[in-house]
Amino acid sequence: MLKHQSHIAAPIPDELRTRALYTVTELKSRATADKQTVEQLYDLINELTEAGLDFFFIEPLRRLKAGNMMMGMARMGVSSMLKGSKMVIHKVLKKLDERSLAAILDFIEEIIHEPEAC
């Protein structure tokens, strides 16, 4: 679905991409929204969120060679966003059923891509 729309992309480390796809495959095979599954999904979503926030909010400042004070303020803002999102994500995931779990896993699979060959 996303390939038929314009979109923005955030790079993630290869290790995170590999682990994310492995986790999605593992959780799909379990197909149950038990506590262990929810915790694994929670951790994965938080890591992906942190990587995205770093890229969209901190990376531009790195490229501009922003000073320590500006970087500190940006990191504090991102940290606040992460804390807020973790709280919301945890509340949402605690109420997951199997159908919703499958939809979230499909979405994660859909948004993760290997680098394009140059």
Of residues 55, 57, 52, the one with CA closest to residue 74: 57
Q: How far apart are CA 49 and CA 43, in angstroms?
A: 10
Residue type, 115: P
Please state the pTM of the whole predicted model.
0.88
Given this model, what pLDDT does residue 103 score? 94
Given this model, what pLDDT does residue 3 score? 65
pLDDT at 1 over 80: no
Class of residue 24 by CB neighbours under 10 A (exposed 0-12, middle 13-18, buried 19+): buried
Q: What's the mean per-residue pLDDT of the chain?
A: 92
For the stretch 29-66, pLDDT in tens is 988 889 999 999 999 999 999 999 999 999 999 999 99
Those residues with Cβ within 8 angstroms of residue 104's Cβ, 6 or more apart along the chain or in another chain: 41, 96
Those residues with Cβ within 8 angstroms of residue 33's Cβ, 6 or more apart along the chain or in another chain: 96, 97, 98, 100, 101
Higher pLDDT residue, 103 or 114?
103
Task: Domain ranges for the chain, please list them.
Answer: 12-111
- End-to-end Cα spacing for the chain: 24
